[in-house]
Amino acid sequence: MKRVTCKSGLSGWKCRLQKNYSSFGEFKSYSEMYGLHVRLGFSSAEKAWKANPIVEGSTDPKDFRVSD
């Protein structure tokens, strides 16, 4: 994972979505609970997983997004 400064100003990380989760099942569970796929701009967890975008985040949940 690459270290970045997120929009909040906090130090965070940047990597491919699939590197951040151990499996699709784990991502899907979090996505259903917190709407992660919506935050990333996808209509479903499956579409987000298949696209495997570069994402970034920090300890602030609002920082979780598709990276520029």
Number of domains in the chain: 1
Q: Model's pTM, two decimal places?
A: 0.89
Domain range for residue 24?
2-66
pLDDT tens readout for residues 17-68: 999 999 999 999 999 999 999 999 999 999 999 999 999 999 999 999 999 8
Residue in this structure with the two tokens 């259903």, named with its chain if needed: 32
Whole-number Å distance between alpha carbons of 28 and 3: 25
Confidence of residue 1 (pLDDT cuts 50, 70, 90): confident
Q: What is the pLDDT at residue 68? A: 80
Q: What angle do CA 8, 13, 44 make, to 5 degrees?
A: 85
